A and B are shown apart, each in its own frame.
Chain A
Amino acid sequence: MDFKLSDEQRMLEETVGRLVRDTYTFETRNKILESEQGFSADVWQQFAELGLLGVPFSEEAGGFNGGGAELMVVAEGFGRGLVVEPYLATVVLCGTLVDKLGSDQQKEALIPAIIGGETRLSLALYEPNSRYEHNRVTTSAKKDGEGYVLNGEKAVVINGDSADQLVVIARTSGAEDDRDGLSAFLVDGNAAGVSRRGYPTIDGLRAAEVVLKDVKVGADALLGAEGQAIDALEDSLALGLVALCAEASGAMEVACDQTLEYIKERQQFGVPIGKFQALQHRMVEMRMELEKVRSITMLAACSLNESRELRDKRLAAAKAQVGKSGRRVAEEAIQLFGGMGMMEETPISHYAKRIVMIDHHLGDSEYHFGRLESLLDVE
């Protein structure tokens, strides 16, 4: 048993930490949020140069060969700076899915371009009526000569507004919520029949409602075997959950630090408000929730190679804990900041928004409690 980071992991942590500290200030981030694209191409290029876009890929492909712990370290660093660049969508979700399902040709065409920062992808998975059920897919892909024709709607596709290519999960067979019959397709973001309505999210990201109308793709757009995408999809979602939990952990850490700093400085009744026991105990409770999230995120990050059931149980528990504890920390942070916590100009409000809204990415705590319930007997 050893909770220390390896030398390589520590280097990765320092690399991300330095980048976020030096270049990703609150003011810089605000400018990025207001920009046309909603993320910074310069920052993205720095990620590429520092090797961050290759973390989960094999060394042969030019990657870092990282596992859950490496991803955790990177995402925690991003969380500390509320980084909005499309890392989760491009690298963690789509990149690993292409890596897992793609043919040699598909991988050669995409993975180096992802690692190099030239191509950005977005996972078009959830639908207006699927909520967080990743196997409830009505978007259809019907055989059409050598290729396929895609029809359907995809909801809140994170970074779907700007992605070069969408990885569309569509049904090639089976009923609406069958696990079999799901296929993954590479679809050019500007292909005929693809319409994207882009918009900002309240936690600083960009997303799109994507409508696919008679979108024709070739046979080479299919990733992996037809109808067999579910296992690889769940593997990528598992990585995505680790990244989100770690990001929440990093953001919660900063929220706790900023709140602590504030209550030590803010004076009322002639003393710093941190002298009041009522506030001290609330601050302690915030830190306790942070420790829980740190702990269970480590558990999740180190469980990716366990059996699928045990992995999923721990991931569900971790994401549920993040939802429960995150909300508590965010609400308490705003409360302890008082009126200042309500202001857009105060960084804590941005941390609070991201921490709360992480619950709506890849399944909220209600959804994951449900999953945990179904896996309660798994040891």
Chain B
Amino acid sequence: MDINFTAEEAAFRDEVRAFLKDKLPADISRKVKEHKRLGKEDTVRWQKILNEQGWLALHWPKEYGGTGWSPIQKHIFEEECAEAGAPTVLPFGVNMVAPVIIKFGTQEQKDYYLPRILKSEDWWCQGYSEPGAGSDLASLKTRAVREGDHYVVNGQKTWTTLGQHADMIFCLVRTDPEAKKQEGISFLLIDMNTPGITVRPLITLDGEHEVNEVFFDDVKVPVENLVGEENKGWTCAKYLLTFERTGIAGVGQSKAALAHLKQVAAQQISNGRPLIEDPHFRRRLADVEMELMSLEMTNLRTVAAAEAGGVPGAESSFLKIMGTELRQEITHLFRTAAGPYALPFLNEALHDDFDGNYVGPEFAASVSARYFNFRKLSIFGGSNEIQKNIISKMILGL
């Protein structure tokens, strides 16, 4: 047993570090580290840099332009990116729809969509959730009716993350309303510029426009945009949900956030001394650091099992719960660190181009918004309660 990286693994990490030092734009990493809201241009600029290096499509096989990396290499890369303050790659294209297209798509679909995803020519979004289909995803109602060489789609999707920028959406739609729940569903790729699609912003409790509602009103979708077989879309959906969840623990993000929190706490004054010396606050920092050490090792154990050929299944559910709870706890400590200056809410101050005066310390401007925004972590991607159901069933056999 050896918890340290091998020489090759360490060399790979150094290579990633050197690349990040050289190529990660300072203005972007500053925004990420200071929790400013990122624009579409920031994400696209970073994705193009990654693609130039051949490091964008982490999970794709080499022949499609992916890295072909091992689970440990992917893990190292994701951790280093997070710690360096690299923006999250938009997952919907490269990490979600692309593996489905590679696995179930036609040659034409692969030839057309995959290069465009690599070059960031299409901004993808995900059409899964509906007003009546959340954790119970298979109860979705958006209807697609085959008419000649196209489907006519009617219905509504919701919680569509960054759909306001999207060129394409991959959707689960019901093609056979008579079949049992999971069996009448198909996986469709839809151009967001098709007539009949309306995107309406949903403003979240932190004042952010991150998610949307997408309405489909007699939207015509060519049949060649069906992925896999008609009525077999649930297979694609399940594949996507279990596909590669190494980064789900968010250890790198938590490490970066904790380092920033310590910096902030060293500057804030409480009871006439730096907050970081306050015994109560320090105890909570210690607790988070301890939990992070446990999480990191649990994550590494899962990565090592994947490296040895195991398929990370329900184990990722543990990582999702632990990782999201920890990230949420850190946002709570940031809010605590800001004290009364957690109260002022200047929505415009969360944007990078803000040139007005902050109320209180600059870091405090985003802490409460971020705390509220991060409540989403335990809700999306299969709520933490759904994760517990999965563990109950798959691991505990209950």
Q: B residues near A, CB below 8 A?
A: 1-6, 9, 72, 262, 279, 282-283, 285-287, 289-291, 293-298, 300-301, 303-305, 308, 318, 321-322, 385, 388-389, 391-392, 395-398
Question: Does B396 contact A260, Cβ atoms closer than 8 Å?
Answer: yes
| Residue on A nearest B391 in the bound complex, by CB | A284
Q: Complex Cα distance A6/B398, Å?
A: 33
Question: Does B286 contact A372, Cβ atoms closer than 8 Å?
Answer: yes
Give the chain A neighbours of B295 by CB distance below 8 A. Answer: 292, 295
CB proximity to B under 8 Å, residues A316-375? 317, 320-321, 324, 369, 372-373
Report the minimum CB–CB distance from A245 to chain B (whole Å): 11
| Residue on B nearest A306 in the bound complex, by CB | B4
* Complex partner residue of A373 from B2, B286, B322, B385, CB under 8 angstroms: B286
* Interface segment, one of A43-51, A53-61, A202-210, A273-281: A273-281
Q: Complex Cα distance A172/B72, Å?
A: 52
* Complex partner residue of B293 from A2, A296, A302, A373, CB under 8 angstroms: A296
- Sample of 18 A–B contacts (CB below 8 Å): A1-B3, A1-B9, A1-B300, A2-B2, A3-B304, A260-B398, A264-B398, A283-B396, A292-B294, A293-B294, A295-B295, A295-B298, A299-B3, A299-B293, A317-B293, A373-B279, A373-B282, A376-B289
| Residue on A nearest B2 in the bound complex, by CB | A2
* Complex partner residue of A369 from B283, B293, B303, CB under 8 angstroms: B283
Give the chain B neighbours of A372 by CB distance below 8 A. Answer: 286, 289-290
Give the chain B neighbours of A171 by CB distance below 8 A. Answer: none
Q: Complex Cα distance A377/B261, Å?
A: 12
Question: Does A288 contact B321, Cβ atoms closer than 8 Å?
Answer: yes
Q: Given contacts A288-B321, A302-B1, is CB(A296)–CB(B398) below 8 Å?
A: no
Question: Does A284 contact B392, Cβ atoms closer than 8 Å?
Answer: yes
Question: Does B391 contact A296, Cβ atoms closer than 8 Å?
Answer: no
Q: Complex Cα distance A256/B308, Å?
A: 26
* Chain B CB within 8 A of A188 CB: no
Question: Does A281 contact B1, Cβ atoms closer than 8 Å?
Answer: no
B72, B279, B318, most chain A CB atoms within 10 A: B318
As a 0/1 sequence over residues 59 to 95 of chain A, the CB contacts with chain B under 8 angstroms (1 = contact) are 0000000000100000000000000000000000000
Report the minimum CB–CB distance from A105 to chain B (whole Å): 36
| Residue on A nearest B281 in the bound complex, by CB | A373
Report the minimum CB–CB distance from B72 to chain A (whole Å): 6
* Complex partner residue of A3 from B3, B388, B391, B396, CB under 8 angstroms: B3
Q: Complex Cα distance A377/B258, Å?
A: 11
Report the minimum CB–CB distance from A323 to chain B (whole Å): 10
* Chain B CB within 8 A of A232 CB: no
Question: Does B1 contact A9, Cβ atoms closer than 8 Å?
Answer: yes
Q: A residues near B, CB below 8 A?
A: 1-6, 9, 69, 260, 263-264, 274-275, 277, 280-281, 283-285, 287-288, 291-296, 298-299, 301-302, 314, 317, 320-321, 324, 369, 372-373, 376-377
Question: Does B398 contact A263, Cβ atoms closer than 8 Å?
Answer: yes
Q: Complex Cα distance A298/B287, Å?
A: 18
Report the minimum CB–CB distance from B256 to chain A (whole Å): 14
Question: Does A287 contact B293, Cβ atoms closer than 8 Å?
Answer: no
Report the minimum CB–CB distance from A58 to chain B (whole Å): 20
Give the chain A neighbours of B289 by CB distance below 8 A. Answer: 317, 372, 376
Q: A302-B4, A373-B286 are in contact. List 15 more A-B contacts (CB 8 A).
A: A1-B6, A3-B304, A3-B305, A274-B396, A275-B398, A280-B392, A281-B388, A291-B318, A292-B291, A292-B295, A295-B297, A321-B291, A321-B293, A376-B262, A376-B285
Q: Given contacts A1-B304, A280-B389, A320-B290, is CB(A287)–CB(B395) below 8 Å?
A: yes
Question: Does B294 contact A296, Cβ atoms closer than 8 Å?
Answer: yes
Q: Complex Cα distance A260/B289, Å?
A: 30
Q: Complex Cα distance A309/B121, Å?
A: 50
Question: Does B3 contact A298, Cβ atoms closer than 8 Å?
Answer: yes
Give the chain A neighbours of B388 by CB distance below 8 A. Answer: 280-281, 284-285
Q: Given contacts A317-B289, A320-B290, is CB(A280)–CB(B398) below 8 Å?
A: yes
Give the chain B neighbours of A377 by CB distance below 8 A. Answer: 262
Q: Complex Cα distance A116/B53, Å?
A: 61
Report the minimum CB–CB distance from A109 to chain B (whole Å): 34
* Complex partner residue of B290 from A2, A6, A285, A317, CB under 8 angstroms: A317
Question: Does B297 contact A298, Cβ atoms closer than 8 Å?
Answer: yes
A277, A292, A320, A324, most chain B CB atoms within 10 A: A292
* Complex partner residue of B5 from A1, A4, A5, A320, CB under 8 angstroms: A1
Q: Complex Cα distance A260/B395, Å?
A: 11
| Residue on B nearest A281 in the bound complex, by CB | B388
| Residue on A nearest B285 in the bound complex, by CB | A376
Question: Does B398 contact A292, Cβ atoms closer than 8 Å?
Answer: no
Give the chain B neighbours of A280 by CB distance below 8 A. Answer: 388-389, 392, 396, 398
| Residue on B nearest A69 in the bound complex, by CB | B1
Q: Complex Cα distance A301/B4, Å?
A: 12
| Residue on B nearest A366 in the bound complex, by CB | B283
Report the minimum CB–CB distance from B95 to chain A (whole Å): 23
* Complex partner residue of B72 from A1, A264, A295, CB under 8 angstroms: A1
Question: Does B301 contact A3, Cβ atoms closer than 8 Å?
Answer: yes
| Residue on A nearest B304 in the bound complex, by CB | A3
* Complex partner residue of B385 from A3, A281, A288, CB under 8 angstroms: A281
Q: Given contacts A281-B388, A369-B286, is CB(A288)–CB(B318) below 8 Å?
A: yes
Question: Does B392 contact A283, Cβ atoms closer than 8 Å?
Answer: yes
Give the chain B neighbours of A287 by CB distance below 8 A. Answer: 318, 391, 395-396
Report the minimum CB–CB distance from A304 to chain B (whole Å): 12
Q: Complex Cα distance A72/B305, Å?
A: 20
Q: Complex Cα distance A283/B287, Å?
A: 23
Q: Complex Cα distance A299/B322, Å?
A: 18
B2, B301, B395, B398, most chain A CB atoms within 10 A: B398
Q: Given contacts A277-B389, A299-B3, is CB(A3)–CB(B286) below 8 Å?
A: no
Q: Complex Cα distance A210/B389, Å?
A: 52
Give the chain A neighbours of B4 by CB distance below 8 A. Answer: 1, 302
Question: Does A295 contact B301, Cβ atoms closer than 8 Å?
Answer: yes
Q: Complex Cα distance A317/B285, Å?
A: 12
Question: Does B1 contact A298, Cβ atoms closer than 8 Å?
Answer: yes
Question: Does B322 contact A292, Cβ atoms closer than 8 Å?
Answer: yes
| Residue on A nearest B325 in the bound complex, by CB | A288
Report the minimum CB–CB distance from B140 to chain A (whole Å): 23
Q: Complex Cα distance A324/B291, Å?
A: 10
